[in-house]
Amino acid sequence: VSLIIDATGAEYPQKGTLQFSDVTVNETTGTVRLRAVFPNPDGTLLPGMFVRGQVRQGRLEGAFLVPQKAVMRRPDGTAYSYVAVDGKVVSKDLQIEQSQGENWLVSAGLEDGDQLIVDGIQRIGPGAAVAPQPVEAAADDGSAKPADDTAKAAE
């Protein structure tokens, strides 16, 4: 964890460690409470001082960013999505790590090249016929990559 001192815009030279992370997001502000501990040998950091924290997240290889609207949950809480395989709908269970904007970061359950169904999922089920049509995928910000194609359910 690193700090930027608001008054000067300078980066604080000491690195800190993340000690605590809240599990809920404040719905009003969209923020999560974190606590980090920093060495302060020169007394540069003072009580009430305003700083901005920067937390580096790890990179999750082989993960996909999936639009939240394409993910459903079963009564037991298991996340799943529909994909098109040979013109038919197939259900795939997903392992979701976290949200990123309007997407879920999915670490397991999808494979590169899966045609994820993102529209019309309320009107279909496993085994239904679909005609996949590519739609624009989410932008790749380097943290995860979307599947090659996505698909819409047949109307």
CATH number, domain at 37?
2.40.30.170
pTM as predicted: 0.56
Same domain? For 75 and 38 the reply is no
Q: Which domain holds residue 107?
A: 64-152
Beta-bridge partners for 94? 79
d(CA 119, CA 57): 31
For the chain (155 residues), the mean pLDDT of every run of 10, in chain order, is 90 90 79 88 92 81 90 92 94 90 90 90 90 71 47 47
Q: Is 118 exposed, middle or buried (0-12, 13-18, 19+ CB in 10 A)?
A: buried
Same domain? For 70 and 7 the reply is no
Centre a 10 Å sphere on the Cβ of residue 20 and count the other Cβ atoms it contains: 9
Tell which of 38, 56, 74 closes a domain: 56
> Tell me, what's the pLDDT at 140?
52
Same domain? For 68 and 49 the reply is no
> Tell me, what's the pLDDT at 55?
83
Same domain? For 72 and 90 the reply is yes
How many domains does the structure of the chain reveal? Answer: 2
The CA-based dihedral angle spanning residues 130, 136, 138, 139, taken in that order and rounded to the nearest 10 degrees: 150
